[in-house]
Amino acid sequence: MAQAVEDVIWNLADLYNGPEDPAIRADTDWCRQRAAAFSRYRGRIESLEAKEFLDSVAELEELNERAQKLLAFAYLNFATRTQDPGASALFQSVKELGSELYRDTLFFNLEWTKLEGAEERVSNPCLAKYRHYLLALRRYRPYVLSEPEERILAEKEPAGASAWAALFDKVLSGLRFGEKKRTETEVLSDLYSTDREVRKNSAVELTEGLRSALPVLTHLFNTVLLDKSIEDRLRKYPNWLSARNLSNEAEDAMVEALVSSVCSRYDLVARYYRLKRDLLGHDRLADYDRYAPIPGLPDTRYSWEEAKSIVLSAFGAFSPGMAEIASEFFERGWIHAPVLPGKRGGAFAHPTVPSAHPYVLVNFQGRQRDIMTLAHELGHGVHQYLARAQGLFNSDTPLTTAESASVFGEMLVFRHLLARMNSPAERRAFLCSKIEDTFATVFRQVSMNRFEDAVHNGRRTGGELDAEFISSAWLDTQKAMFGDSVYLTDNYRIWWSYIPHFVHSPGYVYAYAFGELLVLALYAKYLSQGADFVPMYSRFLASGGNAGPNDLLRPFGIDLEDPDFWNRGINIIEGLIEEAEGEMGR
C-alpha cells in the first residue's frame, strides 16, 4: 500500500513507549546506581589485572549505552516538537543526567589517560576489542585537567554550549517567513525554483525573518564562541580546531593540507558559475540564483513511494544487502519525513545505541534534491546499522569517515538517475546539479571553515563580536570562493545565522569536504574493481570506529597522508566541469 509522506512518522517505541514510559525513570535510576557502583574502581586503574580492567571497560560501556539510549530518545522526541515545553524539559533533564554520570565516572578516563605504560597494557589479547578505543582516549593526554576541574566542566555543561544549541533549534523552528508564515524549510525550498522572482522573493523573506531574530542569534553565537574559547584555553589546545581534529583522528597538518588544497582551486567555483550564468541566460548571477535549476531538468515532484523506489533501486544495484538494510528504515518506522510546524529543519541520521537501531529525519517536499538528501542520510543509516556490532565504544566513527558513507549513498543515486535520462539537455542539467552538490560539500564547506576560523579567532582576540563583524567575515569568506562569478546582495550578509553546524558542532564543516573527496576516490575504485569492491566497502562500514581512518582505508590503497591525495579528488571535480562545458560545445 502506497504511503503518503504525511504518514511517514517514526516510531520511537524501540527506545521508549513515549515520554511517560516508566522505563525512562527506571533507566535513569539504574544509571545513577551503576555510576555509584563504578566508583569502586577509583584509584585502582593502574593496578587492575587485565581481566578486571576489561570488566571495568565493559561495565562503563554498558552504563554509557543506557545513558545514550535515554539521550537519543529525548533528542529525537524534541527534534520534531521543539516548541513543546514537555519535550524540551525531558531533553534538558536527560542532558543533565548525562553530565552527572560523566562527572561521576570521568576518573576512569583521567586515570587511564595519565597511566604510564598504557600501550603495554592494551597489548594483552583479552583487551583486543577495546584497543583502539583505549589508545584513542590517550590522544587527549596533554589536554586533560585535574579531576576537580574536569568535574566542574562536566557539571556546568548542561548550561553551556548544548543549552545554546537547543535554544538555536527553538528559535529557528519557531520563526515564520513572509506573509504566508512559512517555515525555514519551506522558504529555503523556493531558492530551487525555476522562477527567478520566486527565488528573489524567498531570499527577501528569509532575510527579513532572520533579521527579526538577529540580536538573539548574534548573542547566542557569541556565547558558543566564548564557551569554546574558555574550554580551549583551560585545556591549552593549540588552536580553535584542535579539539575537533582530535575527535576526528585527523592530524592538524592533514586538515591544513585539505583546506589549503581546496582554497587554492576556488577558480573552479568561479569557472562553473560563469558557465551557469550563461546557461540561465542572465547578465549577472545573484546569490539567490545559485541553486536555480539548469534548463532541461524537469521540475518533477516525486511522491514518497517514488523516492523510496529510486533510493532502494540504486542501493540494490550496488549491493542487495545494502538495499535490504535501507528498506528496514522504510518498513519499520525509522524515518520521520514530513515538514511540520515545530520540527527542526535540515536532515540527520542518529545512531542511537547498538542495542537498538538508527533513525533518520528529513524534511521531504518531493524535489529531486530531497531524494539525494534521503540517500545521504540513509547512507549514514546503513553505516550506523552495520557498525552496531562493534559495540558502543567502537561503533562511533570520526566525522571524516562518517561522511564518506553518506556521500557515497548520494553518488549511487546520482548515477542511477543519470542512467535513466535520455535527453542530452536533461543529462547536462542533472550533471550540473551534481557539480553544485559537490561544490556545496567541498568548496562551500571549506569557505565556511574559513568563516569559522575568522570568528573564533576574532572572538578570542577582540571580545564580543557584533552582527556587522560576523556578517563581514561571512561575506569576505564567501566572496573569496565565488570571486566575481556571483553577486552577493546585502540580504546574503546575515545568512550565516541559520546554519546549525556553527552552533551544534563548531569545526565540523571540513568533514564534508573530506568525505566528498574521499568518496570520489572510493567511487573511482569501485568503477575499476566492480563487484570485488563491494565486500571491501561493506567491511569498511561494519568496522565502525574500531580503527583510525588511515587503517580503515588502507585496504583501498588510500593514503590520507599523501599530500597529493586531495588534489586528485579536486581534479575529478574539474573533470565534471569539463564534461558540462563539453555539453555546451565550449
Phi first, then psi, for residue 489 (nearest 5°) are: -75, 170
Residue 22 clears pLDDT 70, i.e. is over it: yes
What pLDDT does residue 1 have? 65
Measured CA to CA, the distance from residue 463 to residue 136 in angstroms comes to 34
Residue by residue, DSSP assigns 172-211 as: HHH--BTTTTB-HHHHHHGGG-S-HHHHHHHHHHHHHHHH
Q: Kindly tell me if the per-residue pLDDT of 561 is higher than 80.
A: no
Instruction: Indicate the angle between helix axes 368-387 and 320-331, nearest 10 degrees.
Output: 100
Is residue 406 within 8 Å of residue 377, measured between CB atoms? yes
Question: Residue 423: which H helix or E strand, with range?
Answer: none
pLDDT at 586 over 60: no
Cell 531570499 locates to 203
Task: Indicate if the pLDDT at residue 530 is higher than 60.
Answer: yes
The DSSP string of 343-393 is --SS-EEE---TTS--EEE----S-HHHHHHHHHHHHHHHHHHHHGGG-HH
CA distances from 313 to 309, 317, 377, 408, 409 (A): 6, 6, 16, 15, 12
Report the C-alpha gap between 242 and 244 in whole angstroms: 5
User: Could you read off the pLDDT of 474-520 as tens digits, one per residue?
Assistant: 999 999 999 999 999 999 999 999 999 999 999 999 988 998 999 88
Mean pLDDT confidence for 522-537: 92
Looking at residue 325, its pLDDT comes to 98
Segment 29-40 shows an average pLDDT of 97
Sequence letter at residue 224: V
**Which residue did the predictor score with more confidence, 251 or 337?**
337
Q: What is the predicted pLDDT for the residue at 298?
A: 78
Reported as a pLDDT band with limits 50, 70 and 90, residue 579 is confident
Residue 225 has pLDDT above 80, yes or no: yes
At 68, list the grid cell.
Answer: 545514550
CB-CB contact of 127 with 105 (8 Å): no
Q: Please, which pLDDT band fits residue 425 given cuts at 50, 70 and 90?
A: confident
Write down the pTM of the prediction.
0.87
CA end-to-end distance (rounded Å), the chain = 48
Q: Kind and range of the H or E element at 49?
A: none
Give whole-number Cα distances, 351 to 83, 377, 396, 498, in Å. Answer: 24, 11, 8, 25
> What integer pLDDT is reported at residue 584 of this predicted model?
64
The C-alpha atoms of residue 23 and residue 69 are separated, in whole angstroms, by: 11
* pLDDT tens per residue across span 112-161: 999 988 888 889 999 999 999 999 999 999 999 999 999 999 888 888 88
pLDDT of residue 427: 85
pLDDT of residue 483: 95
How confident is the model over 157-175, as a mean pLDDT? 91
Give the model's pLDDT for residue 3. Answer: 87
CB-side neighbour CA atoms (13 Å) of 415: 15
Q: What are phi and psi of 84, to 5 degrees?
A: -90, 115
Kindly report the CATH class assigned to 5-159. mainly alpha
Q: Indicate the DSSP class of residue 20.
A: T
- How many angstroms separate the CA atoms of 258 and 565, rounded? 9
Mean pLDDT of the chain, nearest integer: 93
User: So where are the chain's domains?
Assistant: 5-159
CA distance 242 to 91: 29
Q: How far apart are CA 539 and CA 550, in angstroms?
A: 15
The bridge status of strand 348-350 relative to strand 359-361 is antiparallel
Using N-to-C axis directions, what is the helix angle for 196-212 and 214-235, rounded to 10°?
70
